[in-house]
Amino acid sequence: MKQRTVLDGPEIHRALTRIAHEVLEANKGPGGLVLLGVPTRGVPLAARLAEAIARIEPNADASALAGALDITMHRDDLRSGRLRSAEPTHIPGGTIDGRTVVLVDDVLFSGRSVRAALDAVSAIGRPEAVRLAVLVDRGHRRLPIRADHVGKNIPSALDERVGVRVREIDGADAVTITGPDTDGTSGDSAQGEAP
């Protein structure tokens, strides 16, 4: 099996800590922040970012920062039958109005999941600003979308699979690239988005 690990658990932890510092710097502190994870693996990553922010800023409450954003009804592949199970939207503090929303996802690929997330955000409120934080940017964008905060840029071929595992769902943390000569049964998450 042609698979290689590009980020292990400690490297993921360091990347999320760095992103937390970047988010705080861009926002000039934790005030008015809300981190919305895009299911599936973006939700635990958002919770970890909130915990990292709370470690950096002791007056910040991690549970008041992290939530989840259901993008299912805003996806452009509703009829394909390839939808992930939806995690209900949870907005800490009850509203995004006037706040800075940081969308958190595991892999940025074509940009379609992020477009759906932007539609979902606009359907539930009017934030002051929307930013994007991703653990991995693998390139191959098909929409004009760019992440504000990136854990690691991983150049990859279109026929390679970038898998993200998080301990909350998969029991371990890792980012792997699997080549096209494998059967795709490595247990990793999907590529992040449909191409």
Q: What is the pLDDT of residues 31-51, one digit of tens each?
A: 999 999 999 999 999 999 999
Tokens at residue 181, please? Answer: 């000569």
Our count of domains for the chain comes to 1
pTM for the whole structure = 0.89
The verdict on residue 24 lying in a domain is yes
The verdict on residue 162 lying in a domain is no
The verdict on residue 105 lying in a domain is yes
The region that residue 114 occupies, defined by phi over 0 for left and psi between -120 and 50 for alpha, beta otherwise, is alpha
The verdict on residue 70 lying in a domain is yes
The verdict on residue 171 lying in a domain is no
Tokens at residue 28, please? Answer: 């000039």
The CATH number assigned to the domain holding 108 equals: 3.40.50.2020
The verdict on residue 109 lying in a domain is yes
Closest Cα partner for 102 from 58, 12, 37?
A: 37
pLDDT at 82 over 80: no
Q: What is the CA radius of gyration of the chain?
A: 16
The verdict on residue 177 lying in a domain is no
Tell me if 144 sits within 8 A of 132, measured CB to CB: no
pLDDT in tens, 115-165: 999 999 999 999 999 999 999 999 999 899 999 999 999 989 999 999 999
**Domain membership of residue 109 as a residue range:** 10-77+84-156
